[in-house]
Structure 1
Amino acid sequence: MAKKFPKLTKLFFFLVLAAMAKLSHCAWENCGVTEETQLTLYFHDYSNGPNATVIPVAGIAGREWNFKQVGSVYVIDEPITEGPERDSPTVGRCQGLFVTASFDGLNSHVVLSIMFTNEAYNGSTLEIQGTSKQFEQTGEVSVVSGTGKFRFVRGYASFKTVFWDEVTTYAILQVDITLRHY
């Protein structure tokens, strides 16, 4: 008569097999190995005129909607280029929104999607979220996720205004992004 394995032994055997399967999967898929990617991109901000890329869509009734007024909501759809020049090659678009989120008007909450169209990252996205100090020379927000080549990404983005024309309300923002991803 054959001896039966006790239930605990069967459980242990099953767990060992599951761990071995996971390890072989990780060896095949490079599990746990992350790489670091650093990007420098340029966002082109037009706040007024027929080609505006930053558009106010909501605010407090009876008050002027502007960047310093708490509750003002803006939608963004702007080009992203390799360099700061307007005719620099386009690498994608930044789409999302920001809300002036502090009563003193100094902070905004941003939720942005960077959608790449260039050859290196075509179809991939980065999702950015956080509080931005909107009138300081530089600000930093979190990169919270991504798709395509940036699945499971984590990181941060530093925004720096490199050009501002008050008359035309045109700005160029340099965005330095540091990412950790698989």
Structure 2
Amino acid sequence: MATPIRKFTKLSFVIILLISFLTFLKGDELGELKRSSMTLYFQDYFGGPNATMKPVTFSADAWSFKQFGTIFCTDDPITVTMDQGSAEIGRAQGIYVTSALDGSNSHVLISLVFTNKEFGGSTLEVQGASKQFERVREVAVVGGTGKFRLARGYATFETVHLDLSLSYSIIEGNFTVWHYKNDRNTL
């Protein structure tokens, strides 16, 4: 007579095999795993009447990127080149939170919402701690939809232009992602 532990072990093994088999079948439905790399430019206006990034809460009379607890909301245009007149291919929408007591890190939660013909309707989801005062910052790509279904990877950000008098900066984003390419995806 089998002991309860042996029955449980056999049942666990069968369940693991079943899950593995179903995952294999589901992976086939998703299509081929593909690696994509792209460079995009975030046109960031952090002041003035047409600001695309604003503080929404802060713990002092004046907001600051260094002030612990400050939360910023963003909706930056994403372009294919550094030029302000470059074609817009999407929007970077989300929040930044100054999450380190000394102001050195911000936590980034950003959705890249693509609007161009090639990727329209697709998204990439970016999340992680960003060492906001370093020249190059790296965060994780934790997901995606549409053409970037189940994306994973990383992104680096570098401020390549800063004009404090205009409250304007250009941030270069370099993305390396693995995602499923499925010709049956309809967008």
Q: Structure 1 length as normaliser, TM-score? A: 0.83
1:50 aligns with 2:55: no
User: Does the C-alpha gap of structure 1 residues 26 and 53 become closer, same or farther in structure 2, counting only changes over 3 Å?
Assistant: closer
Whole-angstrom distance in 2 between the partners of 1:167 and 1:111: 27
Equivalent residue pairs, number: 164
Q: Structure 2 length as normaliser, TM-score? A: 0.81
User: Does the C-alpha gap of structure 1 residues 167 and 119 become closer, same or farther in structure 2, counting only changes over 3 Å?
Assistant: same
User: Does the C-alpha gap of structure 1 residues 146 and 64 become closer, same or farther in structure 2, counting only changes over 3 Å?
Assistant: same
Percent of aligned positions that are identical: 46
Deviation, 1:64, is: 2.4
Q: Deviations over 1:136-180 (max 9, x none)?
A: 111000000111111111011100111001211210000000000
Task: Output aligned runs, 1:14-29, within 5 Å.
Answer: 29=29
Task: Output aligned runs, 1:42-81, within 5 Å.
Answer: 42-60=41-59, 62-81=60-79
Whole-angstrom distance in 2 between the partners of 1:37 and 1:109: 25
Give the greater-gyration-radius structure (CA).
1
The one-letter code sitting in structure 2 at the alignment partner of 1:56 is P
User: Does the C-alpha gap of structure 1 residues 106 and 22 become closer, same or farther in structure 2, counting only changes over 3 Å?
Assistant: closer
SS at match of 2:147: helix
In structure 1, the gaps of 5 or more residues are: 1-11
Whole-angstrom distance in 1 between the partners of 2:70 and 2:26: 49
Deviation, 1:30, is: 6.2
In structure 2, the gaps of 5 or more residues are: 1-13, 181-187
Task: Output aligned runs, 1:70-149, within 5 Å.
Answer: 70-149=68-147
